[in-house]
């Protein structure tokens, strides 16, 4: 079985971002970048499946600038076998990303494609579902458990009402939620070994996909600021505030 994992390099989730005053975007220069946390869970899931004898090869792919190499190296150090960097300096929309990934799926023909459920920068939560449509494969998004059963997989998903378990025939697309596993920190020898694993860099233009954006981003603005509040000294004061607020609420 072959597993493909799509990983994205994003502004580190611990960084408190700043919106540029001119409304053109978010300040990303000089900011720490790392692998999207959800993608880390996807890589970990793929490596665990492979270690359990279900994956002969784990291939990771990232779309981005040359520097996105470092998240591929992280994934290789975690145990993936081979990397593909699709190089572009353009900020691509999710549809273009999914189309590029669909080309990789056509070339590699993986049994399972794992993605993060969302990227923490744009928070789109699109790419896995789009890739599933473009490759005409069944999908299980927001996975918190993946089991290989017979010729298919059983995936438990986190949904609004709790959890549900789907069984899917392969090939299929799965997107990872945070409770899927605990991603490993690669030990130094693995980091060294990662450098000798195969990593192909290919320009995005080579894939013959229309990458032009469909949406126009007019501006990026900061969210409305909250007015500063106060600290009360007693439970009685707090209760009085809550009771007053509740009695002022509109009945819905």
DSSP conformational letter for 2: E
Interaction between residue 124 and ligand FAD (CB under 6 A): yes
What is the widest separation between alpha-carbon atoms in the chain? Answer: 68
DSSP string, 126-164: -HHHHHHHHTT--EEEEEEEEEEETTEEEEEEEETTEEE
Interaction between residue 183 and ligand FAD (CB under 6 A): no
Interaction between residue 203 and ligand FAD (CB under 6 A): no
Out of ligand FAD, another protein, none, what residue 36 binds, judged by CB under 5 to 8 A for its kind, is ligand FAD
Interaction between residue 36 and ligand FAD (CB under 6 A): yes
DSSP conformational letter for 78: H
| Closest CB 207 distance from another protein, rounded Å | 16
The C-alpha atoms of residue 110 and residue 131 are separated, in whole angstroms, by 13
The C-alpha atoms of residue 207 and residue 70 are separated, in whole angstroms, by 22
The C-alpha atoms of residue 157 and residue 172 are separated, in whole angstroms, by 14
Closest-CB residue for ligand FAD? 116
Residue number, 16 or 89, with CB nearest to another protein? 16
Among the listed residues 65, 169, 213, 222, the single contact to ligand FAD using CB under 6 A:
213
Which range, of 15-23, 30-38, 157-165, 224-232, touches ligand FAD by CB under 6 A? 30-38
Interaction between residue 92 and ligand FAD (CB under 6 A): yes
DSSP conformational letter for 204: G
Interaction between residue 67 and ligand FAD (CB under 6 A): no
Residue number, 189 or 219, with CB nearest to ligand FAD? 219
Parallel/antiparallel/unpaired status of strands 82-87 and 57-64: parallel
Residue number, 192 or 203, with CB nearest to ligand FAD? 203
The C-alpha atoms of residue 28 and residue 47 are separated, in whole angstroms, by 31
**99, 214 contact by CB (below 8 A):** no
Interaction between residue 116 and ligand FAD (CB under 6 A): yes
The C-alpha atoms of residue 60 and residue 133 are separated, in whole angstroms, by 20
Out of ligand FAD, another protein, none, what residue 66 binds, judged by CB under 5 to 8 A for its kind, is none
Residue number, 52 or 232, with CB nearest to another protein? 232
In the complex, the residues that contact ligand FAD under the rule CB under 6 A are 6-8, 13, 25, 36-39, 42, 61-64, 91-94, 97, 115-116, 118-120, 122-128, 178, 213, 215, 217
């Amino acid at each position: 079985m072959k597993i493909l994992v799509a990983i994205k390099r994003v502004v580190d989730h611990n960084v408190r971002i700043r919106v540029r005053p001119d409304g053109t975007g978010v300040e990303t220069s000089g900011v720490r970048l790392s692998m999207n946390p959800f993608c880390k869970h996807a890589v970990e899931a793929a490596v665990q499946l492979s270690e359990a004898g279900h994956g002969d090869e784990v291939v990771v792919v990232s779309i981005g600038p040359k520097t996105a190499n470092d998240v591929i190296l992280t994934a290789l150090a975690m145990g993936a076998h081979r990397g593909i960097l699709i190089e572009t300096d353009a900020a691509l929309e999710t549809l273009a990303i999914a189309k590029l990934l669909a080309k990789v799926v056509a070339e590699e023909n993986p049994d399972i494609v794992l993605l993060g459920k969302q990227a923490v920068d744009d928070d789109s939560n699109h790419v896995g579902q789009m890739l599933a449509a473009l490759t005409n494969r069944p999908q299980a998004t927001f996975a918190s458990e993946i089991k290989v059963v017979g010729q298919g997989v059983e995936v438990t998903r986190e949904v609004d009402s709790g959890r549900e378990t789907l069984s899917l025939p392969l090939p299929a697309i799965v997107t990872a939620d945070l409770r899927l596993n605990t991603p490993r920190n690669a030990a130094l020898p693995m980091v060294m070994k990662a450098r000798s694993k195969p990593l192909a860099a290919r320009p995005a233009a080579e894939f013959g996909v229309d990458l032009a954006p469909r949406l126009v981003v007019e501006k990026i603005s900061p969210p409305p600021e909250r007015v500063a509040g106060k600290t009360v000294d007693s439970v009685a004061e707090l209760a009085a505030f809550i009771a007053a607020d509740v009695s002022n609420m509109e009945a819905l």
